[in-house]
C-alpha cells in the first residue's frame, strides 16, 4: 500500500513474492562493488588513510554520476501517477536510453537519497527495464508487502548501498557495544537509554518489531555524548535504518 492507502503500482507482468537467498547475496555483492569503487576513488583523491566512516552519509548522486556515468537531476516536477481518482506525485525516474536518473526536488533529503539509490538499483539489477517512473520511497512504501519482487530488490539494493552491512555493524558496535539488543529482555537502564525514560521495558516489549528497531535507529546512548543516531549517520529515515537493524539481527 502506498501512503494513500491504495495498492502500490506493480511493474506489469511481475507478481509479488520474496527475494531468495542467492539473489539477496547477488544484490548485496553488486551494492558492495560500487561502495568499494567509491572508497577507492575517494582514497585516490583524499589519501590512502581515508576511513570509510568519513564518506558517510553516502551520496547516490555521486555514485550515479562518477561511477555509473549517469546523468542525475533533481526536478521540481516529475509528473503524476493516476490511481483511480487519485493523483500521486512521482518521486523518481530512470531513463536508460538517456542514461538518466531523476528524483523529485520536493522530497526530504532522506527520501530523496533512498529514492535515488532505489533507481540506481533498477539500473544495476534490471537491464530489461528501460524506463520507469515511480512513487516516493516513503516509509510506508518501503514496508509495503504487496510490491513486485523487482521493487523489493531495488529497495534491498538501496538499503545495502546506503547502509553497507559491514560498516553498519561497526557503527552499531561503536554506539551500542558488541551485543545485539533484545527488546524482549531489556533492563530498566537499557529502556531508559533507548527512550530517554519515556517507556518501561514492558512497554517497549509490546511495540512492533519495527517500532522497537526505530527507537534504536534514532537514539544515541546517553553515555556517548558526541555521537549521532544511526539513521542520521547513514542519512536515511528511522524506518529504513530500523529495517536494516532487524535484517542484520542487531535488534530483536
Ligand atoms: Zn522501483
| pLDDT tens, residue by residue, 160-179 | 999 999 899 999 998 888 88
CA–centroid distance, 134 to ligand 1, in Å, is 6
Dist. CA 41 → ligand 1 center (Å):
28
Q: State the sign of the Cα–Cα–Cα–Cα dihedral 155, 169, 231, 234.
A: negative
What is the torsional sign of CA 86, 87, 91, 92?
positive
Under DSSP, the state recorded for 52 is G
Residue 177 CB contacts under 8 Å (≥ 6 apart), including other chains: none
What Cα–Cα distance (Å) separates residue 160 from each residue in 89, 184, 194?
26, 27, 25
Rounded distance from Cα 151 to ligand 1 centre (Å) = 5
Give 217's strand partners.
none
31: CA distance to ligand 1 center in Å? 16
Residue 93 Cα to ligand 1 midpoint, Å, equals: 9
Q: Is residue 141 over pLDDT 70?
A: no
Which residue ranges form the domains of the chain, and what is each CATH number?
Answer: 21-162 (1.10.10), 165-247 (no CATH)
Distance 243 CA to ligand 1 centre (A): 18
Q: 29: CA distance to ligand 1 center in Å?
A: 19
Q: Locate 48 and state its grid cell.
A: 590512502
- φ, ψ of residue 236 in degrees (nearest 5): -125, 170
Q: Of 113-127, 176-190, 220-234, which range is least confident? A: 220-234
Distance 171 CA to ligand 1 centre (A): 28
Q: What's the 198 CA to ligand 1 centre distance in angstroms?
A: 37
pLDDT of 7 > 70? The answer is no
Predicted pLDDT of residue 10: 40
Taking the centre of ligand 1 as the mean of its atom positions, its distance from the CA of residue 140, in whole angstroms, is 14
In angstroms, what is the span from residue 154 Cα to ligand 1's centroid? 6
Determine the pLDDT at residue 80: 74
What does the mean pLDDT of the chain come to? Answer: 86
CA of 125 to the centre of ligand 1 (A): 11
Residues having C-beta closer than 5 Å to ion ligand 1: 134, 151, 154
Grid-cell match 555521537, residue found: 227
Conformational region of residue 144, where left means phi above 0, alpha means psi within -120 to 50, and beta covers everything else: beta
24 CA from centroid of ligand 1 (Å)? 16
CA of 157 to the centre of ligand 1 (A): 11
pLDDT band at 187 (very low <50, low <70, confident <90, very high): confident
Per DSSP, the residues of 98-156 read TTEEEEETTS-HHHHHHHHHHHHHHHHH-TT--EEEE----HHHHH-TTS-HHHHHHHH
Q: Which residue has the higher pLDDT, 111 or 227?
A: 111
> Would you say 240 and 157 are in contact if contact means Cβ atoms under 8 Å apart?
no
Query: 167 C-alpha to center of ligand 1: Å?
Result: 25
Rounded to the nearest angstrom, the distance between the alpha carbon of 102 and the centre of ligand 1 is 12
Amino acid at each position: 500500500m502506498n501512503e494513500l492507502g491504495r495498492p502500490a503500482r506493480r511493474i506489469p507482468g511481475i507478481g509479488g513474492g520474496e527475494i531468495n537467498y542467492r539473489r539477496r547475496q547477488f544484490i548485496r555483492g553488486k551494492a558492495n562493488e560500487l561502495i568499494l569503487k567509491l572508497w577507492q576513488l575517494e582514497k585516490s583523491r583524499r589519501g590512502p588513510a581515508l576511513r570509510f566512516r568519513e564518506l558517510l552519509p553516502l551520496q547516490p548522486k555521486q555514485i550515479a554520476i562518477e561511477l555509473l556515468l549517469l546523468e542525475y537531476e533533481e526536478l521540481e516536477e516529475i509528473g503524476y501517477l493516476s490511481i483511480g481518482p487519485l493523483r500521486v506525485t512521482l518521486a523518481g525516474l530512470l531513463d536508460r536510453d538517456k542514461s538518466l536518473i531523476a528524483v523529485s526536488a520536493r522530497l526530504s533529503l532522506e527520501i530523496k537519497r533512498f529514492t535515488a539509490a532505489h533507481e540506481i538499483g533498477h539500473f544495476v539489477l534490471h537491464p530489461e527495464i528501460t524506463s520507469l517512473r515511480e512513487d516516493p520511497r516513503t516509509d510506508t512504501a518501503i514496508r509495503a508487502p504487496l510490491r513486485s519482487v523487482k521493487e523489493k530488490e531495488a529497495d534491498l539494493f538501496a538499503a545495502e548501498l546506503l547502509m553497507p552491512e559491514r560498516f553498519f555493524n561497526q557503527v552499531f558496535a561503536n554506539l551500542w557495544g558488541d551485543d545485539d539488543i533484545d527488546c524482549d529482555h531489556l533492563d530498566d537502564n537499557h529502556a531508559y537509554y533507548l527512550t530517554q525514560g519515556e517507556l518501561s521495558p514492558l512497554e517497549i516489549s509490546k511495540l512492533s518489531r519495527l517500532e522497537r528497531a526505530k527507537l534504536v535507529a534514532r537514539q544515541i546512548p546517553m553515555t556517548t555524548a558526541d555521537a549521532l543516531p544511526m539513521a542520521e549517520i547513514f542519512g536515511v529515515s528511522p524506518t529504513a535504518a530500523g529495517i536494516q537493524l532487524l535484517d542484520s539481527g542487531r535488534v530483536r
